Structure 1
């Protein structure tokens, strides 16, 4: 870096201090501190960022307001920076610094490893991986040709020897051919493409965001016939652009599914919807009822849980006038009943944390499990069936 950093040194320093205060620097990967310092996120940020103002995304241009642009880019350790819109919605971002650090720690990159980074975006995670792995050891794939060109230029400007290719990382292969030692994906998939497992050496690692919530670190089995791994953290990533569209989140998406429909069933509950603010429970529900999108809306009389499946089914758990919560639901599925059953199952399992869950991937099937891959309860991925015990 040069001494002429455009006044960004203070923002960088503030981020690093907050990472330290929060304990967000992984103890097992001290190299990340140096990599973040040498390759700060502003070196990979475009000159226009986007901020939600409560109604729509508005641009923040570096040339017009450098300090506002920098403040948006460095707004917090858990805050992503939106870098691209498509159809008025975010389609690319610089991921939150804490999540980037944690996922790269989970990847366990070592010098000399060959790394396939999928979903290049602006190229920051590929750059950090290259700083660790070494020159010519990282290849990265981006489906958006404009983003691939942008990242290629930023990586070259940083003096890094990284191959940045435009292409489909979900359905395509490793640029230059495989196998690789590590695979890092920066967009969410519900099911892991078997091509990813086949591209990684036995004993290698795959770190990827899983659907709408969480990220997983898989290890490829010694015979290459499967991959297993634990959930490593919470995060929400943009979905695979080449796959099925993911249902929207938030009250607007719920309203779109429900419309003006009146409840088809209504009953009082003994459960407080505030319990759904527990992220460990939220993750368990995500595993057991993967189609359900849950949003907590804070109201004057207390929190309400709004649930939909992106199609026609919806449910609402809200405070009642007599002090007992109410469950309202409609559509072909009884989503509220499914969530309540999964809630009870989570309690029967001893209220496990999200880190007690994992995933197994084989050529023919995939499933989530809790406690142990072979003996714990399991849930088929992509199926609404209840857990097999």
Structure 2
């Protein structure tokens, strides 16, 4: 497609319409995205991955490629900042932005805390719905704060942007009716629950595979809600150290050691490469597992690690079985296979069958009912890169 921005906007609107994104409940989002298009918030330099590194695309010298990158597709984020060779900010994928704001159930008059301002686009869309002066956004990067303020002012949007670490501090203006988060966390900071009104809603990316909508209980002390969809997000900058989810991360954990356990398992590994219901279930049951897949003439192979000291390799044998090699203090391959069997025994649930509950003392994931099967939430090491064959990457705004 050409660099014609009007054409790009029209095409994106039509694609989202065909998907059914513009439901009756989300009709305001269609109007807001038309009034406040993503190109109004994009910087003059974007970054494109060429297979080896992120390369710059400048609007002034290459407007066609710049626009094509910005509107690469409904599931494509546009990288707007690269630090030490890695993306550190972006304009979120349009479909994910629409899904998360729809999940927020925004109404006129709601007060909103938008955590992780980035380019200011989600703050602007939220303010379009709620009204002037009702959205406050926090961003840890002072340079992004300056640029977001400029873009919001140029678009005529009355929303406040403050420098702050949204994971650790709460801005003035609360308690808030709605809290919207644009970067992933494994454990919900309890300050978010305290910052929301009873009955308020918190939509946030959980780990690197989905986003959740919590509703705060009437007593204001707990919150619970369902997984809303799949997507991958940039992690909290102040969270645990990033661990590569690519093969090099596995190689680093394994080192040069020989396997400590070997066996043959009767499993065709193909679902690990493409069944995201299974991958989500594994992520729930073994939250620190990193799974990388690849294919050869014998089928799909998998390399698994915990980002620390335990690893497993599953090598397809060409007959529907696989050789399992493991090393380290944990048998992480066995843990993955147990989670897989558990998922099958539970009727192969989808991500939409899971939910999260947060209390002052603990947090857990549950299946189908808050009182049903549950798994404790622990800090995950699955950070820093999409596994092979991953769903579209959304880096957060």
- 1:156-178 per-residue CA deviation (whole Å, 9 max, x = no partner) reads 1100000000111110012x231
SS at match of 2:25: coil
Counterpart position of 2:394: none
- 1:283-341 per-residue CA deviation (whole Å, 9 max, x = no partner) reads 11101100001222233432222221111222222311555222222222111100111
- 1:335-389 per-residue CA deviation (whole Å, 9 max, x = no partner) reads 1100111111111111111111111101111111111102x011111179xxxxx
Q: Is the 8 A contact 1:327 1:336 kept in 2?
A: yes
Give the aligned length: 377
| Gap change, CA 1:102 and 1:268, over 3 Å in 2 | same
Unaligned runs of 5+ in 2: 381-397
- 1:181-232 per-residue CA deviation (whole Å, 9 max, x = no partner) reads 0000000010001100000000010000001211100000001120000000
* Structure 2 Cα separation of the partners of residues 13 and 224 of structure 1: 43
Matches within 5 A, 1:349-368: 349-368=346-365
| Gap change, CA 1:256 and 1:64, over 3 Å in 2 | farther
* Structure 1 Cα separation of the partners of residues 111 and 298 of structure 2: 54
Q: Is 1:93–2:90 an aligned residue pair?
A: yes
> Of residues 258, 263, 288 in structure 2, which corresponds to 1:262?
258
Q: Is 1:15–2:12 an aligned residue pair?
A: yes
* Structure 1 Cα separation of the partners of residues 323 and 73 of structure 2: 37
Counterpart position of 1:225: 221
| Gap change, CA 1:300 and 1:159, over 3 Å in 2 | farther
Counterpart position of 2:71: 74
Q: Is 1:240–2:236 an aligned residue pair?
A: yes
Q: Is the 8 A contact 2:268 2:320 kept in 1?
A: no
Q: Is the 8 A contact 1:26 1:102 kept in 2?
A: no
Matches within 5 A, 1:180-191: 180-191=176-187
Counterpart position of 1:3: none
Q: Is the 8 A contact 1:247 1:293 kept in 2?
A: no
Matches within 5 A, 1:312-327: 312-320=309-317, 324-327=321-324
> Of residues 159, 166, 170 in structure 1, which corresponds to 2:167?
170
* Structure 1 Cα separation of the partners of residues 297 and 118 of structure 2: 40
Unaligned runs of 5+ in 1: 1-5, 385-389
TM-score of the superposed pair, with normalisation by structure 1: 0.94
* Structure 1 Cα separation of the partners of residues 222 and 362 of structure 2: 10
SS at match of 1:58: strand
Q: Is 1:142–2:139 an aligned residue pair?
A: yes
Counterpart position of 2:328: 331
Q: Over aligned residue pairs, what C-alpha RMSD do you find?
A: 1.5
* Structure 2 Cα separation of the partners of residues 352 and 117 of structure 1: 31
Counterpart position of 2:130: 133
Counterpart position of 1:197: 193
- The runs of 4+ residues in structure 1 deviating greater than 6 Å are none
